Structure 1
Amino acid sequence: MKGADIGIGWVDQAGNVHFQDRYAFGMGLPIIDNTTTDWFHLQGREQNGWTSIQFKRLLDTCDSMDVPIISGTNILIFAYGLVDPDLLRSGSDISYHDTRRGTRIIPLRSYGNPSSEEKFAGLDSVDFRVSNYRVPSEESNYYCKVYKSPAQFLTKRHAVAHKVLIDSANRDLVHHLVLYECDPAAVFDDTNLPDDVCDNVYAHVHMCMSNSAIVWAVGGDDIEEFPEEAGYPIGGDLPVKYYVLEIHYDNPRRTLNRIDSTGVRFYIGKELRQYDLGFLSFGTGPNPSSLAIPPQANQFVVDSYCSPRATQ
């Protein structure tokens, strides 16, 4: 916890809320911030063994003992003790939390100003979503499911936005997801579409793991609206007939019997837009031949080249 910016609070027996701005120089007791106080409690209560405190802090306090809250992912730590400090007793301080601690990667600040879902009320939509998948009790797991292109759209339509659908109880499990477009040459049995741990079905879906339609990871906004002049093409006689949803579950505690129904939703506009929206990916594939970083290397440079046809 070295370098952690910490807010510590408790509710005493009289119902008074106490809140402190602290900083951790090492693995020991975090000290009270001796520069400026930037954490402020708004309200708090303690009931039936639960303590709840609402507080506020500026995104960037310009205080050397505070950590800026950035766009995207923020790594949070949490811990709690069992005994409240007694401020009337000399030398009293917070008690050690022991094993009552943990960490989370949480988006605290949006990259932009995501649209409200109400903006897309009344539009057609299509979901690519898993159904009551029992997440394995493994630390890391990739799940893949194949979907056929929606048959209800007989002519090409344009999606104007997409939303990531994650069960609120499983926010700690879903690390990232990708919706891939299958190569037009990919063929499947529509009555038995692949649906399993990705390693188990890769031989069947390998032609579907290159072109992405949606990419989301922890820290990203749940709703993404496309530029007004472009829409993502879907349906009709488009060459893409199948999609694969790949979800990475991060389960460091190896918890059992977690049921998940994560997925994505396209909101379909009423009219076609001027341009079809597509994706251009830069970089190199994550394979041993391209990212074999030698041990003890001070730096490692990867050069990637793109054909001129990609920008035509």
Structure 2
Amino acid sequence: MMRRFFIFLCTLHLGTLVSSSSDPKGPIVWTRDLTLNDKFTVRFNNEDEDKLVMEISAPTTGYVAIGFSPNGGMRGSDIVMAWVDGEGKAHIKDLHAVGNSMPIEDDVSNYELISAEETQHGTTVRFSRPWNTCDDKHDFEITEDTVRLIWATSPEDPQIFTDGSFQSNYHGPDFRGGRSVFLKVDTHLQKFPDDDDHSDPHVKHWDVQMNRVIVPDDSDTTYYCKIVKSPHVYDVKHQIIGFRTLIEPTNKDWVHHINFFECNVPQSDGGPEAVFEKYLDHPGGHCYQKNMPPEWGQYCMTVPFVWVAGAEGLLLPEEGGIPLGEHNNGTTYFMLEIHYNNEKKIQFEDSSGVRIFVTDKPRPNDIGAVTIHTRFSHGFHLLPPGYNGFKNVAFCTSECTQKAFPPEGVTVTHATLHAHLTARKIKIRHIRNGQELEPLAQDDHYDFNYQQSRIVSPARKLYPGDIILTECEFDTTGRRKITYGGTSTKDEMCQGYVYIYPRVQLALCKTQYDFDNFFNALGIREVEGEVLERLQLPYKPKPNQMYDPGDDAYVLKNNSNGPQYIFDLLDVAEPSQYRRTSVADFVENLPWQRNDNELTKTVWKKWWEGKYDTFCTGHHFKRIPLEDYSVSYPKFEPYVKPIDQKCGERRGRKNQLGSSGSSSAFTLSIISLPFLLVVTKMCLL
């Protein structure tokens, strides 16, 4: 009998294992398994519609803690701390932080301990918590937004006093960290094919990388481009089904985004092979400058996928893939573009790129991407300084989708949100017949350093006549000067990408403020400059115009011999007292922040309520003509998120329980720590 008892104790893996009655039966299939660094790992399951199940591990015999933060800092974060004490008793604490100090214990705990284990190698704790605890004062509701996970550990257990209060040691600067993730929304449902031990034999990969590019130290922004050809273009149809990044570890802080452009050349211009085959041996070079072959910018325009800082990659659903080869309604030649954000202005070498997964077993549908963004290159994407809450918007109009979508509609599978450093909130809104539906994607805690594509679940139908809006909200309170739209991370953008099937002719919806309304709101009645004709401003489609104008921010920004922004090239003509003053100087000297940002609010209202020029653009910038290209902001009934009915039930239960403190503890029977040490020695014999 005693022998069986010792065998049982040995199965505890030479550690202190504590389990609660809520320990689920059977193994958990983890949605994500993250290694935050060599000191802390996290894995979680998000399949339960009511709660999150999470497990955290660290090489410590003290406490482990993880927090859910809206902004990456302690203030406002919802924290859970757990440990196993010297008597084999597990403790879990529900805390909230009001600053960079010891967190405060909640009156009622919303965390349920599932299991806790402490060994000589570290501590592992598994727990669950509701997505919405209904505690608006102290807790963080986990939604589809980006969540900043903050973590900390200590080599020592907290002290618990006789009155039930406790005191934890400061974790120190080396035992803490953070990372942005999606917890409630999925990024992809399968493993990447090169991670799967039982991968599909029909799936191959194609690595596209720069070749020891030298990023210079004279600029904080460098765009580098290179032409490549798909090796998977045969008689059998091939499709791209996903990609992951190949970022050199030493350069991960400098690679900001990767665009993969399709290069489409009409037969009237010679076809793609005649134009691009000769560039396959070209080493590549700085994009959008005079030394870049003009064909690259002229024909490489449609983006089948994009990677942005912090993302892991993308796997498309089983319903479709991106076709390869012109004979399959796809593309053979591509341009790889990498944006290096070199804030420290150091010279370095890079060979980063992407691994593209290709299948020779075609899926039922061809998938395409539609981008909805503001036309950022012409100064119209202008953010006044010192203001929190300024918005900008872009949309696919009802007329555009009416002309571009088939009668049976298209299906949205994924969405990506993109902006730069001052963006705080982004969403892709969906309007049908004057009623807004649930957003296709929304992030009220947008993080520039985590721009992962997300699954739209359930997949959403878009029909002809629907309106799609990308709306961005910015915070420039930390800036003293105007922020313009542009290509540098210090500039701004407002972009939404939706992946749809079947692939249609629509590739891009762009929006800019009406030219006259934009300048009149600033107090400028007339501007002049040779660049206006070049950029087709004020915009008015020419008769039989085949192509929409592109964004010339790349040229203006990266031309080392020229100014950075269009407003440097424009002068005020009226009012006459400002004649010959550059528009850039004029707007920079306006009293934006005077009288509680009165001018900012006035200008923004005039822009928002005025006309917008809209562009409905197909692949290769081919224009989809609109009868009404100058439109107002659409009128619709806004979507209202349903009230969580469970919160009333939970609050009622909490009131019945009272506020007896939030500490939960589970004990491993009556086994003392000295006795466990004896057992450990016997197990090792």
Counterpart CA distance in 1 for 2:289 and 2:264 is 20
Which residue of 151, 154, 160 maps to 2:234? Answer: 154
Cα drift, residue 247 of structure 1: 5.0
Tell me if the contact between 1:126 and 1:266 (Cα under 8 Å) persists in the aligned partners.
Answer: yes
**Cα deviations by residue, 1:201-250 (Å, 9 ceiling, x for unpaired):** 9835545763211124446774222645xx42213557844323345678
The answer on 1:9 being equivalent to 2:82 is yes
Q: Provide the secondary structure at the position in 2 that maps to 1:287.
A: helix
The answer on 1:181 being equivalent to 2:262 is yes
The answer on 1:310 being equivalent to 2:383 is no
- Kindly name which structure, 1 or 2, has the bigger radius of gyration based on alpha carbons: 2
Counterpart position of 1:63: 135
Cα drift, residue 293 of structure 1: 1.5
Aligned pairs (5 A) from 1:107-126: 107-111=182-186, 114-115=189-190, 117=193, 121-126=200-205
5+ long unaligned stretches in structure 2: 1-73, 266-271, 388-599, 618-622, 627-685
Q: Flag the 1:153–1:210 CA change in 2: closer, same or farther, 3 A.
A: closer
Which residue of 251, 256, 266 maps to 2:357? Answer: 266
Paired letter, 2:292: A
Which residue of 312, 315, 318 maps to 1:223? Answer: 315
Tell me if the contact between 1:129 and 1:262 (Cα under 8 Å) persists in the aligned partners.
Answer: yes
Counterpart position of 2:282: 192
The answer on 1:277 being equivalent to 2:353 is no
Counterpart position of 1:102: 177
Aligned pairs (5 A) from 1:236-275: 240-247=331-338, 263-271=354-362, 273=364
Tell me if the contact between 2:246 and 2:354 (Cα under 8 Å) persists in the aligned partners.
Answer: yes
Counterpart CA distance in 2 for 1:221 and 1:277 is 16
Tell me if the contact between 1:149 and 1:235 (Cα under 8 Å) persists in the aligned partners.
Answer: no
Q: Provide the secondary structure at the position in 1 that maps to 2:160.
A: coil
Structure 2 length normalisation: TM-score? Answer: 0.37
Higher helix proportion: 2
5+ long unaligned stretches in structure 1: none
Counterpart CA distance in 1 for 2:337 and 2:142 is 30
Counterpart CA distance in 2 for 1:14 and 1:6 is 24
Cα drift, residue 67 of structure 1: 1.4
**Cα deviations by residue, 1:126-175 (Å, 9 ceiling, x for unpaired):** 42443797998x9x8767453522234234724162132467979x8576
Which residue of 28, 32, 35 maps to 2:105? Answer: 32
Counterpart position of 1:203: 292
Cα drift, residue 46 of structure 1: 4.6
Tell me if the contact between 1:164 and 1:222 (Cα under 8 Å) persists in the aligned partners.
Answer: yes
Counterpart position of 2:156: 83
Counterpart position of 2:167: 93
Tell me if the contact between 2:242 and 2:358 (Cα under 8 Å) persists in the aligned partners.
Answer: yes
Which residue of 118, 121, 127 maps to 1:45? Answer: 118
RMSD: 4.6
Q: Flag the 1:92–1:73 CA change in 2: closer, same or farther, 3 A.
A: closer
Q: Flag the 1:215–1:87 CA change in 2: closer, same or farther, 3 A.
A: same
Q: Flag the 1:13–1:30 CA change in 2: closer, same or farther, 3 A.
A: same
Q: What is the aligned residue count? A: 306
Tell me if the contact between 2:116 and 2:123 (Cα under 8 Å) persists in the aligned partners.
Answer: no
Counterpart CA distance in 2 for 1:135 and 1:41 is 51
Cα drift, residue 23 of structure 1: 0.8
Which residue of 148, 154, 163 maps to 2:243? Answer: 163
Tell me if the contact between 1:2 and 1:25 (Cα under 8 Å) persists in the aligned partners.
Answer: yes
**Cα deviations by residue, 1:9-43 (Å, 9 ceiling, x for unpaired):** 23434554432111113333211121332253522
Counterpart position of 2:324: 234
Counterpart CA distance in 2 for 1:250 and 1:9 is 39
**Cα deviations by residue, 1:237-283 (Å, 9 ceiling, x for unpaired):** 578443233456789999xx99986524233242475x643322212
Structure 1 length normalisation: TM-score? Answer: 0.72
Paired letter, 1:180: F
Q: Flag the 1:29–1:271 CA change in 2: closer, same or farther, 3 A.
A: closer
Counterpart CA distance in 1 for 2:249 and 2:78 is 27
Q: Percent identity?
A: 22
Counterpart CA distance in 2 for 1:128 and 1:192 is 17
**Cα deviations by residue, 1:84-133 (Å, 9 ceiling, x for unpaired):** 21225776501223424332112323347624557971224342443797
Tell me if the contact between 2:188 and 2:316 (Cα under 8 Å) persists in the aligned partners.
Answer: no
Q: Flag the 1:148–1:260 CA change in 2: closer, same or farther, 3 A.
A: closer
Counterpart CA distance in 2 for 1:76 and 1:179 is 30
Paired letter, 1:103: G
Counterpart position of 2:641: none
Tell me if the contact between 1:158 and 1:269 (Cα under 8 Å) persists in the aligned partners.
Answer: yes
Q: Flag the 1:226–1:44 CA change in 2: closer, same or farther, 3 A.
A: same
Counterpart position of 2:304: 213
Q: Flag the 1:161–1:78 CA change in 2: closer, same or farther, 3 A.
A: same
Paired letter, 1:268: T
**Which stretch of the first structure deviates more once superposed, 55-64 or 234-243?**
234-243
The answer on 1:74 being equivalent to 2:147 is yes
Counterpart CA distance in 2 for 1:192 and 1:108 is 43
Counterpart CA distance in 2 for 1:160 and 1:37 is 44
Tell me if the contact between 2:188 and 2:315 (Cα under 8 Å) persists in the aligned partners.
Answer: no
Q: Provide the secondary structure at the position in 1 that maps to 2:292.
A: helix
Q: Flag the 1:51–1:113 CA change in 2: closer, same or farther, 3 A.
A: same
